[in-house]
Amino acid sequence: ETGVTQSPTHLIKTRGQQVTLRCSSQSGHNTVSWYQQALGQGPQFIFQYYREEENGRGNFPPRFSGLQFPNYSSELNVNALELDDSALYLCASSRPDGVEQFFGPGTRLTVL
């Protein structure tokens, strides 16, 4: 069984640019959640997608947006990048009746 995968592993962008991060959920999982983890902090919930619809959102501005596809993979898009967007972005998937979220290895985004 393949776990949660994320791409790319690392990414460097310039302030003002746009970025797309990708996540493939674990087999049999239909829910994907995205988290932002700043250096030295715990992850912060960005939003969750369930059956291609947004199902809850944290305290992040609209320039953070997402998509979920019919195969339950997901994208996180961030527009107008700011220096403070530099962080590890974690994706997690869960089963329809699951309690546990399974995390991917993350994408390290650096904004210069």
Which residues contact another protein by CB under 8 A?
31, 33, 35, 40-45, 48, 56, 58, 88, 90, 92, 94-95, 97-106, 108
CA torsion angle 68 15 13 66 (round to 10)? 0
Q: What are phi and psi of 27, to 5 degrees?
A: -55, 130
Q: Which is nearer to another protein, 40 or 70 (by Cβ)? A: 40
The distance between the two most distant Cα atoms of the chain, rounded to a whole number of Å, is 41
Q: Which is nearer to another protein, 10 or 14 (by Cβ)? A: 10
Q: Which is nearer to another protein, 67 or 88 (by Cβ)? A: 88
Determine contact, residues 88/106, Cβ cutoff 8 Å: yes
Least CB distance from residue 91 to another protein, whole Å? 10
Determine contact, residues 3/100, Cβ cutoff 8 Å: no
Least CB distance from residue 85 to another protein, whole Å? 17
